[in-house]
Every structure is written in structure tokens, then in C-alpha cells.
Amino acid sequence: MPGFPVISVRQPQPFDLVDEPVQVAGVGTAFEAVANARLRDGNGNEITSITITVGGTGTWANFNFSISAGGVAPTPQGTLELYTLSAKDGSEQGTIVIPVTFGPNLLNPYHGFAQYEVVSGDTLSAIAQTWYGNSALWTRIFEANRNQITNPNLIFPGQVLRIPQ
């Protein structure tokens, strides 16, 4: 009979801009109610890891916790990973990898983001000039929107961009 995955993360969603500390919420169960979470930078290096409580064997429960990068993460892009350890041999199992963008790496202090709809003739530099008063800060906008912009020279009317604040 198909069922729920051992851990299901509801927040953050893939490619979300996250704050420091990263707030995580979901539902799950784990052997003896213990699971693990870690943050990695964009190069795959572990920033930190913690043990968390997620339900219990056969019992599903909501969970929420904070995990800190210890300040500004070393790269704008990274991942949040949740996993359990095998009771048999201690190996990782059921790993969930969620790509995230570390807001404080883009703008510190980070307070969230505004939305901007691209119009004909816009460039990331022009948008940065409007929002930050400095066209050279276009990389903030590019990194905040890597899930929809692969080439910073190609943005399109109608795209809704996140502008870190």
C-alpha cells in the first residue's frame, strides 16, 4: 500500500529565498522519532547539521525547527537536506534535497523580497539601478531568481522577479 514519504517538507519550497536561521516545517515520522537536517553551500560543503524530532515509528506528526548557517552563508545558492539514519547500519536514507537561496548572502540584513514584473526593455542592471540606486548590484537579482534566469542577459517581459530587500 503506498503511503507518505518518511519526511515531507512543506517549507521551504525548492528555490525559496531563506533567512538566517532557516525556518523548516513539514510532516513525518522516523525511527525513534529522530532525523537529521543539514545545510550545504553551493559547492556542496556542509555548513552545519542538527538532529531533529519527527513523529515516531508509525506515528506521523508535524515538525518545525530552525537551522542556522552561523551567519551569512558562504555562497548565495545552497541546499537544505533532511534524512534519517538506518537502524541497521547507520547509513543515510530517504534524503530530501531542497535547493535554496540564502537571502543574507545577497543583502545583509535581509528582510524579504519585493516582486517586480519585467517590462519590455528591462535589464537586470536597470532594475538594480531602480531598486538599489546602483546598477552594479544586478547580481543580487540574478542570484535571487536563478530558478528562472539561466543567462543574466536574457530576461523577458512578464517574468516576475524577486528583488531582495
Where residue 1 falls among pLDDT bands split at 50, 70, 90?
very low
Residues 94 and 42 occupy one common structural domain? yes
Domain identity same for 23 and 99: yes
Confidence band of 2 (pLDDT split at 50, 70, 90): low
- Does 130 map to a domain? yes
Residues 138, 143: Cα–Cα separation, whole Å:
9
Give 101-157 pLDDT, tens digit per residue: 999 999 999 999 999 999 999 999 999 999 999 999 999 999 999 999 999 999 999
Residue 120 — φ and ψ, nearest 5°? Answer: -55, 135
- Per the listing, cell 529565498 goes with 17
**Predicted structure pTM score:** 0.91
- What proportion of the chain, given as a percentage, has pLDDT over 70? 97
Amino acid in position 133: G
**Residue 152 and residue 73 share a domain:** no
Residue 150 belongs to some domain of the structure: yes
Kindly state whether residues 80 and 18 are assigned to the same domain.
yes
Give the model's confidence band at 54: pLDDT under 50 very low, under 70 low, under 90 confident, else very high. confident
Q: Does residue 80 carry a pLDDT above 70?
A: yes
Residues 11, 37 within the same domain? yes
24 contacts 98 by C-beta, under 8 angstroms: no
Greater pLDDT, 31 or 91: 91
Tell me: pLDDT of 6 over 90: no
